[in-house]
Each structure stands twice: as structure tokens, then as C-alpha cells.
A and B are shown apart, each in its own frame.
Chain A
């Protein structure tokens, strides 16, 4: 079945540590996105990529980094510079402009 796979489902970060969240899609979509969701709030865009080897900052990119070396993969690194990283992180992909974004089942990141 085609879809978006995020791993791990749960992740714990120690102070001063960088962690990387995985996102893989087999939908052959060009565009991929990372969102952060906090309790009772809507999704906020962290980074997006419309093509391999290119990505842009979203509304809340500070403390995060991404890479897009393959069409299928868009990993997100939460760096130690992100002071409030506890949240539910969602990855999405889309076939193109104005087409629906399809989401993975998220990674919940907590601080130890």
C-alpha cells in the first residue's frame, strides 16, 4: 500500500541532544512538508520541499533542520537550539499545487 511512514512513533530527547525524525513516502510525490502540532492548536509549518535538493523554511523553522537528498525521504532534525521541542510532529506529502496533502501518523517527541 502507498503511504507515508514516520518513525519512531515516540521519541525522547535529552537536554543538549539533537534528534532526527524519519519520514518516508512511496507515493511518488514531489512535495513534502513537516508540521508541528501542540495540544489544542492547529498545525504549524516547519519546513517544506517542493523538489529534491531544495527546501524552504516555514513559519517556525528556528531550531530545526531538514535535508531532501532523495524524493522518498525528508528527515527532520530537532536541534538543541529548539528550546521547546515537546510536540506531535507530522510529515505530509503532495503530488502538486492545490492537491491534498497526505499525512503520516506522526512522531511524539518528549523531553527527558
Chain B
């Protein structure tokens, strides 16, 4: 059974304190790994797609990386507006996604 696990469940950072979020996956034949940002009461907003081990993508203070077993979302010098829940999802067949439980990030000024 496909499984995606995110850690930690919650993360508190001071503004400017860099850190990483982890997404471990057990998926037969991974075809793509997606990262989303979700604000309270809103739908997830697409951030990145990674297709193969070694791939990296960047957007402002965020960088996503992928290995054969996990993906990391690195947040450099975060700001309070980066506070949100970050979701990862794995695609192994068709366009069906298996989502992790998310990491709730809180950045204090």
C-alpha cells in the first residue's frame, strides 16, 4: 500500500531561522512528487513537482529536493507570511495522488 509520511507534524521557527520539512514515501514506481501550501480554510496551492531523484526546484525562500526515498522542503530565512501547512503528495499511477498528513509551520516575528 502506498504511504506518504511527513515530519514533523508541527514546526515553530523564529523569523530568519532556516529549517527543513521531510516527506518520506513508500510508493511503487514513483512518477512525481508534489508539494503544496495550504492556508487555514483554503484549498492547497501548488508549489513544486519533482520527477526524479536528484532534482531540485526553487521558489523564493523555498527549495524542494528529491531522493529515492524522501523529499525535503528547505525554507531559508523564513518570514511570518510563510506560516502555513505544507503538504506533499506522491503520484504512482494515472494522476492519483497519495497525500501526507502535512507539516504545520509557524514563523514568529
Please list the residues of chain A having a beta carbon within 8 angstroms of any beta carbon in chain B: 4, 6, 31, 40-45, 48, 50, 58, 90, 92, 94, 96-106, 108
Contacts and interface: CB of A to CB of B under 8 A. Distances in A.
Contacts of A94: 95
B43 A103 contact: yes
B25 interface: no
Interface residue tally on B, bucketed by range: 20 to 34
A106 B43 contact: yes
A42 B43 contact: no
Contact of B34 (A6, A40, A100): A100
Contacts of A98: 31-32, 49, 51, 91, 95
B4 A100 contact: no
Contact of B46 (A96, A101, A105): A101
A26 B32 CA distance: 25
A42 B87 contact: yes
A97 B49 CA distance: 13
Contacts of B101: 40-42
A102 B102 CA distance: 17
Contacts of B8: none
